[in-house]
Amino acid sequence: MVSGCLSDPKPGGSDVDTGTKSTTDTSNSAPSIAGSPASAILVGDTYLFKPSASDADGDELTFSISNQPRWANFDSKTGQLTGQILLGDIGVYERIRISVTDGTATASLLDFSITATNSALGSMTLSWAAPTENTDGTPLLDLAGYNLYFGRSRGTYSNQIRIDNPSINIYVVENLLPGTYYIVATSFNAQGDESAYSNEATETVTTP
């Protein structure tokens, strides 16, 4: 296990992708979707990911998936993706996207990939300090949580973890392939405004 410290993200308006892409009209509230799918799975294990989703209007929600792995089953009523990994499934499954719609508007998770492997997996521990000010220097009174973004290439963050608890300042990311990871963090307030990326941290994951 490895650990690292990210620089303080400062909340405020930015053009950073919040991890949810939505299309709306003025008479309907778009649904929201969140979740952190594992990026790797060992042969013989069962992959299981179920996003959380809600709709302010109380509309019935339907889920869909793009680039569904051949070994996985998908439930359009719950958004659950599950399947057992066999030796013939070893490989990288890329650009997977899970979306939810209320019949009018659609929201999607960031595209993600799943690596099926027979190699041992590791983990990394990330820690950070909570921001205390807005970008204009005023006190931050409505901090709502954090987003952690990470990937295998510098400046490319293909995985996201959303933390809806401002009191959390340490998080263990598990089921990772050995190698170097590049991580940034953002914070967001109660209105959903997300900060710019923090400084990029670099962590090396090794097997236990």
Measure the CA–CA gap between 156 and 132, rounded to whole angstroms. 27
In the prediction, which pLDDT does 159 show? Answer: 87
According to CATH, where is 2.60.40.10 located in the chain?
2-18+120-205, 21-117
CB burial string 1-38: b at 16+ within 10 A, e below:
eeeeebebbbbbebebebbbbbeeeeeebbbbbbbbbb
Question: What's the whole-model pTM score?
Answer: 0.69
Please tell me the predicted confidence (pLDDT) of residue 25. 53
Give per-residue pLDDT as tens, 33-81.
999 899 999 999 999 999 999 999 999 999 999 999 999 999 999 999 9
Query: Topology of 2-18+120-205 in CATH?
Result: Immunoglobulin-like (2.60.40)
- The phi and psi torsions of 162 (rounded to 5 degrees) equal -105, 130
Residues lower than pLDDT 50 in the chain: 1-5, 7-24
CATH code for the structural domain at 21-117: 2.60.40.10
Q: What does pLDDT average to over the chain?
A: 87
Q: Which two tokens stand for residue 155?
A: 């400046």
* Amino acid letter, residue 39: S
Q: Environment class of residue 153 by beta-carbon count within 10 Å: exposed (0-12), middle (13-18) or buried (19+)?
A: exposed
